[in-house]
Protein backbone atom coordinates (compact mmCIF):
# COMPACT_ATOMS: atom_id res chain seq x y z
CA UNK A 1 0.00 0.00 0.00
CA UNK A 2 1.13 3.52 -0.76
CA UNK A 3 2.24 5.48 2.31
CA UNK A 4 1.43 9.08 1.39
CA UNK A 5 2.84 10.34 4.69
CA UNK A 6 6.39 9.51 3.55
CA UNK A 7 6.16 11.34 0.23
CA UNK A 8 8.07 14.62 0.02
CA UNK A 9 8.62 14.73 -3.75
CA UNK A 10 7.43 13.03 -6.93
CA UNK A 11 9.27 11.92 -10.05
CA UNK A 12 7.37 11.13 -13.21
CA UNK A 13 8.17 9.52 -16.54
CA UNK A 14 7.32 11.39 -19.76
CA UNK A 15 6.87 9.27 -22.89
CA UNK A 16 3.75 7.07 -22.72
CA UNK A 17 2.99 8.46 -19.27
CA UNK A 18 2.09 12.06 -20.14
CA UNK A 19 1.64 11.50 -23.90
CA UNK A 20 1.65 8.55 -26.32
CA UNK A 21 5.10 8.37 -27.87
CA UNK A 22 4.65 6.37 -31.09
CA UNK A 23 2.19 8.71 -32.83
CA UNK A 24 4.67 11.50 -32.03
CA UNK A 25 7.65 9.59 -33.42
CA UNK A 26 5.74 8.59 -36.54
CA UNK A 27 4.84 12.22 -37.26
CA UNK A 28 8.44 13.27 -36.68
CA UNK A 29 9.75 10.55 -38.97
CA UNK A 30 7.33 11.63 -41.69
CA UNK A 31 8.43 15.25 -41.32
CA UNK A 32 12.05 14.11 -41.61
CA UNK A 33 11.30 12.04 -44.71
CA UNK A 34 9.45 14.94 -46.37
CA UNK A 35 12.46 17.17 -45.68
CA UNK A 36 14.81 14.61 -47.19
CA UNK A 37 12.67 14.38 -50.32
CA UNK A 38 13.31 18.07 -50.89
CA UNK A 39 16.88 18.44 -49.68
CA UNK A 40 18.44 14.97 -50.04
CA UNK A 41 16.35 13.06 -52.59
CA UNK A 42 18.79 10.17 -53.00
CA UNK A 43 18.62 9.49 -49.27
CA UNK A 44 14.83 9.78 -49.33
CA UNK A 45 14.67 7.32 -52.24
CA UNK A 46 17.09 4.85 -50.67
CA UNK A 47 15.21 4.93 -47.39
CA UNK A 48 11.75 5.31 -48.84
CA UNK A 49 9.83 4.93 -45.61
CA UNK A 50 10.29 6.22 -42.07
CA UNK A 51 10.59 2.59 -40.99
CA UNK A 52 13.67 2.13 -43.18
CA UNK A 53 15.40 4.99 -41.39
CA UNK A 54 14.37 3.34 -38.14
CA UNK A 55 16.26 0.23 -39.24
CA UNK A 56 19.39 2.31 -39.77
CA UNK A 57 18.94 3.63 -36.26
CA UNK A 58 18.95 0.03 -35.04
CA UNK A 59 22.24 -0.54 -36.84
CA UNK A 60 23.69 2.59 -35.27
CA UNK A 61 22.60 1.42 -31.83
CA UNK A 62 24.71 -1.70 -32.28
CA UNK A 63 27.64 0.16 -33.84
CA UNK A 64 27.72 3.00 -31.28
CA UNK A 65 26.88 1.60 -27.83
CA UNK A 66 28.32 4.81 -26.37
CA UNK A 67 25.24 6.62 -27.67
CA UNK A 68 22.64 4.25 -26.25
CA UNK A 69 21.47 6.76 -23.64
CA UNK A 70 21.50 9.75 -26.00
CA UNK A 71 18.48 9.44 -28.28
CA UNK A 72 19.23 12.75 -29.99
CA UNK A 73 22.80 11.87 -30.91
CA UNK A 74 21.72 8.39 -31.98
CA UNK A 75 19.07 9.81 -34.30
CA UNK A 76 21.40 12.47 -35.71
CA UNK A 77 24.19 10.01 -36.45
CA UNK A 78 21.72 7.59 -38.01
CA UNK A 79 20.63 10.31 -40.41
CA UNK A 80 24.28 11.09 -41.13
CA UNK A 81 24.93 7.43 -41.97
CA UNK A 82 21.91 7.34 -44.28
CA UNK A 83 23.12 10.43 -46.13
CA UNK A 84 26.61 8.96 -46.48
CA UNK A 85 25.31 5.66 -47.84
CA UNK A 86 23.14 7.50 -50.36
CA UNK A 87 26.13 9.52 -51.57
CA UNK A 88 24.82 12.84 -50.32
CA UNK A 89 26.28 15.45 -47.97
CA UNK A 90 26.53 14.07 -44.40
CA UNK A 91 26.64 17.66 -43.12
CA UNK A 92 22.93 17.88 -43.87
CA UNK A 93 22.36 15.64 -40.85
CA UNK A 94 22.21 18.61 -38.46
CA UNK A 95 19.44 20.40 -40.33
CA UNK A 96 17.56 17.16 -40.96
CA UNK A 97 17.68 16.25 -37.29
CA UNK A 98 16.39 19.70 -36.34
CA UNK A 99 13.28 19.00 -38.43
CA UNK A 100 12.76 15.67 -36.71
CA UNK A 101 13.41 17.07 -33.24
CA UNK A 102 11.03 20.00 -33.64
CA UNK A 103 8.20 17.67 -34.62
CA UNK A 104 9.12 15.26 -31.82
CA UNK A 105 8.26 18.02 -29.33
CA UNK A 106 4.72 18.42 -30.73
CA UNK A 107 3.17 15.92 -28.37
CA UNK A 108 -0.52 15.31 -27.76
CA UNK A 109 -1.03 14.99 -24.02
CA UNK A 110 -3.27 12.33 -22.56
CA UNK A 111 -6.41 14.02 -21.21
CA UNK A 112 -5.44 13.24 -17.63
CA UNK A 113 -1.86 14.53 -17.90
CA UNK A 114 -2.24 18.29 -17.48
CA UNK A 115 -4.69 18.13 -14.55
CA UNK A 116 -2.41 15.62 -12.83
CA UNK A 117 0.68 17.78 -13.31
CA UNK A 118 -1.12 20.83 -11.94
CA UNK A 119 -2.33 18.82 -8.97
CA UNK A 120 1.08 17.31 -8.18
CA UNK A 121 3.05 20.53 -8.69
CA UNK A 122 0.87 22.35 -6.14
CA UNK A 123 1.78 19.75 -3.52
CA UNK A 124 5.30 18.51 -4.20
CA UNK A 125 8.52 19.25 -6.03
CA UNK A 126 8.12 17.29 -9.29
CA UNK A 127 11.06 15.82 -11.20
CA UNK A 128 10.91 14.61 -14.80
CA UNK A 129 12.74 11.29 -15.08
CA UNK A 130 13.11 9.98 -18.61
CA UNK A 131 15.21 7.81 -20.89
CA UNK A 132 13.99 9.86 -23.86
CA UNK A 133 14.82 13.25 -25.35
CA UNK A 134 11.69 15.32 -24.84
CA UNK A 135 12.34 19.03 -24.30
CA UNK A 136 9.91 20.14 -21.59
CA UNK A 137 10.44 23.83 -22.29
CA UNK A 138 9.60 23.46 -25.98
CA UNK A 139 6.62 21.28 -25.14
CA UNK A 140 5.41 23.94 -22.71
CA UNK A 141 5.43 21.91 -19.50
CA UNK A 142 8.72 23.02 -17.96
CA UNK A 143 7.10 25.23 -15.32
CA UNK A 144 5.56 22.18 -13.62
CA UNK A 145 8.95 20.62 -12.88
CA UNK A 146 11.55 21.48 -10.28
CA UNK A 147 14.17 19.40 -12.12
CA UNK A 148 14.62 17.26 -15.22
CA UNK A 149 16.85 14.18 -15.03
CA UNK A 150 17.41 12.38 -18.32
CA UNK A 151 19.49 9.38 -19.31
CA UNK A 152 21.06 11.53 -22.02
CA UNK A 153 22.54 14.00 -19.52
CA UNK A 154 23.11 11.61 -16.63
CA UNK A 155 24.73 8.90 -18.75
CA UNK A 156 22.73 6.06 -17.22
CA UNK A 157 19.09 5.19 -17.88
CA UNK A 158 16.24 3.59 -16.03
CA UNK A 159 15.99 1.05 -14.43
CA UNK A 160 19.47 1.71 -13.00
CA UNK A 161 18.99 2.84 -9.37
CA UNK A 162 21.55 5.60 -9.84
CA UNK A 163 19.30 7.70 -12.07
CA UNK A 164 16.45 7.40 -9.56
CA UNK A 165 18.83 8.49 -6.80
CA UNK A 166 19.86 11.43 -8.99
CA UNK A 167 16.20 12.43 -9.28
CA UNK A 168 15.86 12.39 -5.50
CA UNK A 169 19.08 14.35 -5.10
CA UNK A 170 17.87 16.97 -7.56
CA UNK A 171 15.22 18.03 -5.05
CA UNK A 172 17.25 17.31 -1.89
CA UNK A 173 15.08 14.33 -1.00
CA UNK A 174 15.91 10.79 0.09
CA UNK A 175 14.80 7.98 -2.26
CA UNK A 176 12.45 6.57 0.36
CA UNK A 177 10.69 9.95 0.44
CA UNK A 178 10.00 9.86 -3.31
CA UNK A 179 7.09 8.50 -5.31
CA UNK A 180 7.90 7.62 -8.91
CA UNK A 181 5.10 7.41 -11.47
CA UNK A 182 5.55 5.74 -14.85
CA UNK A 183 4.02 3.43 -17.42
CA UNK A 184 6.80 0.86 -17.83
CA UNK A 185 6.57 -2.00 -15.36
CA UNK A 186 10.31 -2.71 -15.49
CA UNK A 187 12.00 0.60 -16.29
CA UNK A 188 9.74 2.72 -14.09
CA UNK A 189 7.99 0.74 -11.39
CA UNK A 190 10.50 -2.02 -10.67
CA UNK A 191 13.38 0.39 -11.16
CA UNK A 192 11.92 2.74 -8.56
CA UNK A 193 11.31 -0.08 -6.12
CA UNK A 194 14.89 -1.30 -6.47
CA UNK A 195 16.09 2.26 -5.86
CA UNK A 196 14.19 2.38 -2.55
CA UNK A 197 11.32 4.56 -3.76
CA UNK A 198 7.61 4.01 -3.69
CA UNK A 199 6.26 3.25 -7.14
CA UNK A 200 3.02 4.00 -8.94
CA UNK A 201 2.61 1.92 -12.09
CA UNK A 202 0.44 3.61 -14.71
CA UNK A 203 -1.25 0.67 -16.43
CA UNK A 204 -3.47 2.19 -19.11
CA UNK A 205 -3.80 -1.05 -21.08
CA UNK A 206 -4.87 -3.47 -18.33
CA UNK A 207 -1.60 -5.41 -18.66
CA UNK A 208 -0.53 -8.07 -16.17
CA UNK A 209 2.16 -7.10 -13.67
CA UNK A 210 5.22 -9.17 -14.73
CA UNK A 211 7.39 -9.15 -11.61
CA UNK A 212 7.35 -10.79 -8.18
CA UNK A 213 7.83 -7.54 -6.27
CA UNK A 214 4.73 -5.37 -6.66
CA UNK A 215 4.38 -1.56 -6.75
CA UNK A 216 2.68 0.25 -3.91
CA UNK A 217 0.11 1.64 -6.33
CA UNK A 218 -1.35 0.73 -9.72
CA UNK A 219 -3.21 3.39 -11.68
CA UNK A 220 -5.40 3.06 -14.75
CA UNK A 221 -5.25 6.83 -15.32
CA UNK A 222 -3.50 9.77 -13.70
CA UNK A 223 -6.77 11.25 -12.49
CA UNK A 224 -6.81 8.67 -9.70
CA UNK A 225 -3.99 10.60 -8.02
CA UNK A 226 -6.39 13.34 -6.97
CA UNK A 227 -8.48 10.81 -5.07
CA UNK A 228 -5.48 9.18 -3.41
CA UNK A 229 -3.95 12.45 -2.20
CA UNK A 230 -7.24 14.17 -1.37
Distance CA 145, CA 84 (A): 40
Q: Residue ranges of the domains in the chain?
A: 4-19+107-228, 22-104
Q: Which CATH class is domain 4-19+107-228?
A: alpha beta
> In this structure, are residues 148 and 128 in contact, taking their beta carbons and an 8 Å threshold?
yes
132-154: per-residue pLDDT in tens? 999 999 999 999 999 999 999 99
Q: Can you give the pTM of this predicted structure?
A: 0.92
Task: Determine the pLDDT at residue 50.
Answer: 67
> In this structure, are residues 159 and 191 in contact, taking their beta carbons and an 8 Å threshold?
yes
Q: Which of 187, 176, 177 is nearest to 210 (CA)?
A: 187
Task: Determine the pLDDT at residue 66.
Answer: 87
| Domain 22-104 annotated CATH 3.40.50.150 | no
Average pLDDT in the chain: 94
Task: Determine the pLDDT at residue 47.
Answer: 80
163-173: per-residue pLDDT in tens? 999 999 999 99
Distance CA 172, CA 68 (A): 28
Distance CA 204, CA 185 (A): 12
> In this structure, are residues 177 and 8 in contact, taking their beta carbons and an 8 Å threshold?
yes
20-72: per-residue pLDDT in tens? 999 999 999 999 999 999 999 999 998 887 678 778 888 888 888 888 888 89
69-88: per-residue pLDDT in tens? 888 999 999 999 999 999 99
Q: Work out the average pLDDT over 181-198.
A: 98
Amino acid sequence: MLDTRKIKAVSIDLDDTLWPIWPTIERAEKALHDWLVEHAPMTAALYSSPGALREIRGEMTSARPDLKHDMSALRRESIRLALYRAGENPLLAEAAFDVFFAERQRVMLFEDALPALKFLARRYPVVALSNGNADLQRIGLGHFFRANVSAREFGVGKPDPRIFHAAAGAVDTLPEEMLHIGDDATLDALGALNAGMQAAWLNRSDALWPHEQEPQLTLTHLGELTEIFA
